[in-house]
Amino acid sequence: MRIEKKTKTAAETEALGARLAPGLRAGSIIFLHGELGAGKTTLVRGLLRALGHQAAVKSPTYTLVEPYFLPAHAIFHFDLYRLKDPEELEFLGLRDYLHAQGVCLIEWPERGQGFLPPADVDVFIDSIDDARIARFEAHSDNGRALLNSLE
């Protein structure tokens, strides 16, 4: 299952992220692909806001992961851009995050190749000036549930 959505502003990308909220299932793993500045964190910000998170959403560039314990779900937001070696994921406690039955949103999953479980959904974001095309690909029932909330 595949869905493509176009946004014209960062606010629209946040709104698209918000629409993912009702379709989230415990334990889902979502990979976010795209160049620097593609809008991965912007999409996550909209999703976190929709789940009731009011404070800032920072990019976990140096901490690699930022947890959010929200009423509906625990959300673990990863940014693996600065991961030097996928083996570092062991030290980061990846296993604990996966067992916590939260939702893992993972930017730069390519950097963790071989140490990450398969994704329920891959999101690919392409940019053309301020426009963004987000392509969602589901690979499981959890993933299809998420995409259904976008339709």
- In angstroms, the CA 106 to CA 40 distance is 9
Q: Which helix (H) or strand (E) holds 45?
A: helix 40-50
Read off the amino acid at residue 76: F
Answer for which of 19, 53, 59, 126 binds ligand ATP (CB under 6 A) is 59
Kindly provide the residue ranges of all beta strands, DSSP E only, lying in 1-151, ordered along the sequence.
2-7, 29-33, 65-69, 74-79, 103-107, 121-128, 131-138
148 near ligand ATP, judged by CB under 6 A: no
Task: Point out which span in 36-44, 46-54, 66-74, 113-121 binds ligand ATP (CB under 6 A).
Answer: 36-44
Task: Point out which span in 47-55, 104-112, 122-130, 142-150 binds Mg ion (CB under 5 A).
Answer: 104-112
Contact track, ligand ATP, 108-127, x by CB under 6 A:
--------------------
- In angstroms, the CA 54 to CA 52 distance is 6
Long-range contacts of 54-61 (CB under 8 A, 24+ apart): 59/107
State the minimum distance, in angstroms, from the CB of residue 141 to ligand ATP. 27
Q: Which C-beta is closer to ligand ATP: that of 15 or that of 145?
A: 15
Q: In a 10 Å sphere around its CB, with 0-12 CB exposed, 13-18 middle and 19+ buried, how is residue 3 labelled?
A: middle
42 near ligand ATP, judged by CB under 6 A: yes
The footprint of ligand ATP (CB under 6 A) covers 7-10, 12-13, 34, 36-42, 59, 79, 81, 107, 130-132
The footprint of Mg ion (CB under 5 A) covers 40-41, 59, 107
